[in-house]
């Protein structure tokens, strides 16, 4: 990779912070550093302590850096950042923007067109995996867009932030379409595991033995989904939820919108989304997407909160 190109990062949420730390460690080992920013800049203190360079906003990151990774929560935030860069005095020609967020495919296509008109390249790079997978540097990257950029930046992704790249070609829309479609499995799995664990608790088997079976029979991914429920992390006693219920709802709604446009029925996803909406209405913002477990508990005569979760 071209060592002269400076690398930037914006977005230090539950996924982005771990990804940025892994990327900075790689750059630091090569005698360089990551330039970063975030809406709340203090969230990057651990990066600053390790030699990464903070900047006040996306414009300053874009001014200094050639390749800029984004990891943000919503389509609106992404569009706002792109607009901010385009409306600034920063010359974007020759720069590459890589968006690791999960957006609607139409948003990726729109952003790609805007950046290309400004002489920049865009790579839609949504990732599969929870924050624990991000911390371990084992995310699966779905990437589409400028192929030269994907090839050039692969050494900063594979073995650093992710285990593999699924290259979806030149059309940025396609990698996001893959991510949104794949997220149907995530949400429906959460619903199925929550239903299973509530039944196991009610029929006397207990969640511990059921979780053992889930791990042994279906592997660590589904076992990890179960643990998000049984450990109480669906409504953490301290700190912030791993992957917020609001973001999970957003991802599910993207899939439901695509399905509606194509006249595809998705009753399981629709049910799970409604349960997440109910969870958010009852328990507030600081819930994990697995909080549909609390709703199913309530519907079965159990408290929304478990002994392991917070209690209100």
Give the CA radius of gyration of the chain: 20
Tell me, what's the pLDDT at 40? 95
**93 assigned to active site:** no
Taking the C-alpha atoms of residue 101 and residue 175, their distance in angstroms, rounded to an integer, is 11
Taking the C-alpha atoms of residue 101 and residue 97, their distance in angstroms, rounded to an integer, is 12
> Domains in the chain, start-ordered, CATH in brackets?
7-170 (3.40.50.720), 177-299 (1.10.1040.10)
Q: Of 164, 179, 202, 237, which residue is the catalytic one?
A: 179
What SS3 state is found at 282? helix
Taking the C-alpha atoms of residue 273 and residue 289, their distance in angstroms, rounded to an integer, is 10
Is it the case that residue 43 has pLDDT exceeding 70? yes
Q: What is the 3-state secondary structure (H, E, C) of 171-234?
A: CHHHHHHHHHHHHHHHHHHHHHHHHHHHHHHHCCCCHHHHHHHHHHHHHHHHHHHHHHHHCCCC
Token pair 């650093």 in the structure block, residue: 160
In the chain, pLDDT over 70 holds for what percent of residues?
Answer: 99
Taking the C-alpha atoms of residue 257 and residue 260, their distance in angstroms, rounded to an integer, is 5
Per-residue pLDDT reduced to its tens digit, 216-236: 999 999 999 999 999 999 999
Look up the pTM and report it. Answer: 0.92
Cβ pair 203, 178 in contact under 8 A: no
Per-residue pLDDT reduced to its tens digit, 128-178: 998 889 999 999 999 999 999 999 999 999 999 999 999 999 999 999 999
């Amino acid at each position: 990779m071209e060592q002269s190109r400076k690398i930037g990062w914006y977005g230090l949420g539950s996924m982005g912070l771990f990804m940025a730390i892994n990327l900075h460690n790689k750059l630091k080992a090569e005698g360089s550093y990551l330039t970063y920013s975030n809406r709340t800049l203090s969230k990057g203190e651990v990066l600053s302590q390790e030699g990464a360079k903070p900047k006040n906003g996306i414009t300053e990151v874009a001014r200094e850096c050639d390749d800029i990774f984004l990891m943000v929560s919503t389509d609106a935030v992404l569009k706002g950042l792109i607009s901010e860069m385009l409306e600034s005095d920063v010359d974007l020609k020759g720069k590459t923007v890589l968006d690791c967020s999960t957006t609607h495919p139409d948003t990726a296509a729109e952003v790609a067109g805007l950046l290309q008109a400004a002489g920049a390249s865009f790579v839609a790079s949504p990732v599969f995996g929870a924050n624990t997978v991000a911390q371990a540097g084992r995310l699966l990257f779905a990437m589409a867009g400028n192929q030269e950029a994907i090839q050039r930046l692969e050494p900063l992704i594979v073995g650093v932030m992710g285990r593999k790249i699924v290259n979806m070609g030149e059309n940025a829309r396609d990698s996001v379409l893959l991510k949104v479609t794949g997220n149907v499995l995530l949400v429906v799995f959460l619903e199925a595991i929550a239903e299973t664990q509530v039944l196991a608790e009610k029929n006397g088997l207990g969640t511990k033995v059921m979780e053992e079976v889930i791990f042994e029979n279906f592997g660590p991914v589904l076992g990890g989904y179960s643990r998000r429920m049984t450990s109480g992390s669906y409504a953490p006693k301290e700190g912030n939820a791993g992957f917020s219920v609001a973001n999970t709802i957003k991802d599910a709604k993207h899939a439901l919108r695509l399905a509606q446009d194509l006249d595809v029925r998705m009753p399981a996803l629709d049910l799970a989304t409604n349960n997440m909406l109910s969870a958010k209405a009852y328990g507030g913002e600081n819930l994990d997407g697995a909080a549909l477990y609390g709703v199913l508990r309530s519907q079965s005569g159990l408290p929304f909160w478990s002994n392991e979760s917070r209690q209100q």
